[in-house]
């Protein structure tokens, strides 16, 4: 039985998506380092990028999937580093679970403060989210800015933030790999990362959509 909320809206769309997943499963090779639920996330990331290297580059905190399912089930807030993530997430799917998303990267006060302190907009955006109390129990989604991820890690270290889950997949050449490596050392806050330089908002969106599908399947089974 298909997921009603988190699948394509037409039979033709569903068939293409299911066929694509079948091809990924067939061509991906061994992926036994992942649990069944983790593979649902990695598979969707491969599906979105046609990049099989994410079978291996993707890593999960042991509690990541359950933490994500629990957070979405109670309608947690998603804080994104860039607008692209918020645009990519399906509004009908989010609203079904009572999930809202936020980004502050383009806010005037964020830009002004970044200029005043000679920091990045991403850093100030994360500070604004923290000041609004959005991190505690929320999901942090970083697909573009390593400085956003580093700031969240600093806030956690200072005891100012306790997210339910961090999806940390910034892409790039300056601090991207390093920021994800630091996130991967966290014990008390669950995380999902892509090792190295590869990442991006598309991957974060894919991972979150996979989590939404897992939540729907879980609720359907319980019902």
103 to 80, 83, 134, 140, 186: CA distances (angstroms): 5, 6, 11, 10, 24
Left, alpha or beta for 56 (phi > 0: left; psi -120 to 50: alpha)? left
- Closest Cα to residue 168, out of 53, 61, 40? 61
Closest C-alpha among 87, 41, 82 to residue 170: 82
**Could you give the count of Cα atoms lying within 13 Å of 64 in the half-sphere of its Cβ?**
27
Is 125 within 8 Å of 148 (Cβ atoms)? yes
Is 47 assigned a catalytic role?
A: yes
Q: Phi, psi (5° rounding) for residue 89? A: -75, 135
Based on the number of CB atoms within 10 Å of its own CB, is 157 exposed (0-12), middle (13-18) or buried (19 or more)?
Answer: exposed
Catalytic residue selected from 18, 31, 47, 102? 47
Residues involved in catalysis:
47
């Amino acid at each position: 039985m298909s997921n009603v909320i988190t699948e394509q809206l037409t039979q033709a769309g569903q068939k293409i998506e299911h066929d694509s997943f079948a091809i990924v499963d067939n061509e991906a090779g061994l992926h036994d380092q992942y649990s069944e639920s983790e593979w649902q996330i990695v598979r969707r990331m491969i599906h979105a990028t046609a990049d099989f290297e994410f079978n291996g580059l993707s890593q999960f905190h042991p509690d990541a999937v359950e933490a994500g399912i629990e957070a979405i089930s109670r309608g947690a807030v998603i804080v994104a580093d860039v607008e692209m993530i918020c645009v990519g997430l399906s509004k009908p799917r989010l609203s079904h679970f009572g999930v809202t998303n936020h980004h502050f990267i383009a806010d005037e006060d964020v830009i002004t403060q970044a200029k005043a302190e000679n920091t990045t907009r991403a850093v100030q955006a994360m500070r604004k989210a923290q000041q609004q109390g959005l991190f505690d129990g929320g999901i942090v989604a970083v697909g573009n800015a390593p400085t956003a991820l580093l700031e969240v890690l600093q806030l956690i270290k200072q005891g100012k933030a306790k997210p339910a889950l961090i999806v940390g997949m910034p892409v790039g050449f300056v601090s991207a790999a390093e920021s994800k490596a630091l996130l991967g050392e966290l014990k008390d806050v669950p995380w999902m990362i892509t090792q190295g330089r590869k990442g991006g908002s598309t991957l974060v969106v894919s991972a979150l959509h996979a989590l939404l599908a897992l939540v729907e399947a879980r609720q359907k089974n319980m019902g």
